[in-house]
C-alpha cells in the first residue's frame, strides 16, 4: 500500500535521513514539515527535493493554525514526529525553546492529530499511526562500570527501564513521551514511541560530538573531553536508524 507520510523535523539530521530513505527506497510520498531552526538544513534534501512525491511546508509545530492546515490539506496516513530541539548543551544554556517545542509543540501536534484521526473513516483509522521519535537519554546517563554500582558490568537500558532524565533536553523528551502515551491511552490514537541512542553519519550538525572530534582532529586542535571522560555512549548509524523507523 502506498502511503502519505508527514515527517516533522524533516530538515534535521535524522529527519532528513528518513525523508531521503522514504523517497529513495519506497513508493510513499512525504510532506516535510519543518520550522527551519539553526538545525534545519534543506541542502540535506537536495537529492530528493525535485521528486514529485516530496513536499516541503515551512511551519512551526507550535503554530496550531498552520499545523492544522497542513494536516487536513495533505491528509497523511502516518505522522512521524522528529521536530525537536535536540542539543543537550543548548538546553542547559537556554531551556526555553526545549520546553516550547519538545513539550508544548508535541502537545499541539498530538491535539491536531487527534482531531484529524477523529475525522478519518474506519479504513483510514486502521492504518493511522503517530510515531514519536525519542531518545534513550530519558532513561538517564550510561555510567562507566567504575561508577555505576553494577559490579563491573556495562549498564544497559531496556524499554522497561524507569525514566530518569537528567538534562532539560532529556526531561523535555521524557515529558513528550508521556504525553504521547497519554494521548493513546486517553483518546485511543494509535502511537509508537521509539527511544534510540546517539546517531552519527552524513549531515550531522558540526557542533555535535563526533563532528567536533573529527573537525578538531583535522585542524590539529585539542579534542574536548566531557566531564571526567567516563560517560558511555552507544552509537547508531543514522541511515540504519532511518531504515528501521
Ligand atoms: N541526533 C541524535 O543522536 C538523537 C538521538 C536520539 C534521539 N533523537 C531525537 O530524534 C529527533 C530528531 O533529532 P535530530 O538529531 O535530527 O535533530 P536536529 O536538531 O538535527 O533537527 C531537528 C529539526 O526539527 C526542526 N524543528 C525544531 N523546532 C521545530 C518546531 N518548533 N517546529 C517545526 N520544526 C522544528 C529543526 O528545524 C530541525 O530541522 C529528535 O526528537 C531527537 O530528540 C536524536
Ligand 1 probe mutation, 12, 109, 195, 202, most atoms within 8 A of CB: 12
pLDDT value, residue 228: 79
**Best CA proximity match to 54, nearest among 82, 35, 26:** 26
| 86 CA to centre of ligand 1 in angstroms | 5
pLDDT one digit per residue (tens) for the chain, 245 residues: 999 999 999 999 999 999 999 999 999 999 999 999 999 999 999 999 999 999 999 999 999 999 999 999 999 999 999 999 999 989 999 999 999 999 999 999 999 999 999 999 999 999 999 999 999 999 988 776 677 667 767 777 888 899 999 999 999 999 999 999 999 999 999 999 999 999 999 999 988 889 999 999 999 999 988 777 777 788 999 999 999 99
Q: What is the pLDDT of residue 231?
A: 75
- Say which of 34, 136, 141, 177 is annotated catalytic: 136
As a 3-state breakdown, the chain gives helix, strand, coil percent values, each rounded to 5, of 40, 15, 40
Ligand 1 atom closest to 15 (CA): 16
- The crossing angle, in degrees rounded to 10, of helices 106-118 and 168-187 is 20
Q: Residue 208 Cα, ligand 1 centroid: separation in angstroms?
A: 13
Q: Which residues of 33-49 are buried (b: 16+ CB within 10 A; e: fewer)?
A: bbbebebbbeebbeebe
The helix/strand/coil state of 36 is coil
The DSSP code sequence of 175-230 is HHHHHHHHHHHHH---EEEEEE-EEESTT--TTSHHHHHHHHHHTTPPPP--TTS-
Ligand 1 pocket (Cβ < 6 Å) reads 8-9, 11-15, 34-37, 39-40, 60-62, 82-86, 101, 105, 133, 135, 173, 196, 198-199, 205
Q: Judge whether 137 counts as a catalytic residue.
A: yes
Are the CB atoms for 10 and 18 separated by under 8 Å?
Answer: yes
Environment class of 73 (CB within 10 Å of its CB; exposed 0-12, middle 13-18, buried 19+):
exposed
Task: Enter the DSSP assignment of 158.
Answer: -
User: Over the Cα atoms of the chain, what is R_g?
Assistant: 19
Catalytic residue chosen out of the listed positions 34, 85, 137, 177: 137
What nine digits make up the cell of 224? 574536548
pLDDT at 225: 81
Amino acid at each position: 500500500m502506498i502511503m502519505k507520510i508527514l515527517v516533522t523535523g524533516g530538515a534535521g539530521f535524522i529527519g532528513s535521513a528518513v525523508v531521503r530513505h522514504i523517497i529513495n527506497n519506497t513508493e510513499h510520498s512525504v510532506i516535510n514539515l519543518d520550522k527551519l531552526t539553526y538545525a534545519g538544513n534543506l541542502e540535506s534534501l537536495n537529492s530528493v527535493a525535485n521528486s514529485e512525491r516530496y513536499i516541503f511546508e515551512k511551519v512551526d509545530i507550535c503554530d496550531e493554525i498552520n499545523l492544522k492546515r497542513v494536516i487536513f490539506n495533505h491528509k497523511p496516513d502516518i505522522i512521524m514526529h522528529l521536530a525537536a530541539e535536540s542539543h543537550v548543551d543548548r538546553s542547559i544554556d537556554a531551556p526555553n525553546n526545549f520546553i516550547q517545542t519538545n513539550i508544548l509543540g508535541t502537545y499541539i501536534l498530538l491535539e491536531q492529530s487527534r482531531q484529524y484521526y477523529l475525522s478519518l473513516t474506519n479504513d483510514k483509522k486502521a492504518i493511522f499511526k503517530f510515531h514519536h521519535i525519542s531518545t534513550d537519554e530519558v532513561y538517564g546517563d550510561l555510567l562507566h562500570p567504575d561508577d555505576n554500582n553494577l559490579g563491573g558490568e556495562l549498564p544497559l537500558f531496556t524499554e522497561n527501564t524507569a525514566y530518569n532524565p537528567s538534562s532539560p533536553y532529556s526531561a523535555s523528551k521524557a515529558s513528550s513521551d508521556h504525553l504521547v502515551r497519554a494521548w493513546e491511552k486517553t483518546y485511543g490514537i494509535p502511537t509508537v514511541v521509539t527511544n534510540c541512542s546517539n546517531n552519527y553519519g552524513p549531515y550531522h550538525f558540526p557542533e555535535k560530538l563526533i563532528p567536533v572530534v573529527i573537525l578538531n582532529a583535522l585542524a590539529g586542535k585539542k579534542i574536548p573531553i566531557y566531564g571526567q571522560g567516563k560517560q558511555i555512549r552507544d552509537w547508531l548509524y543514522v541511515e540504519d536508524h532511518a531504515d528501521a523507523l
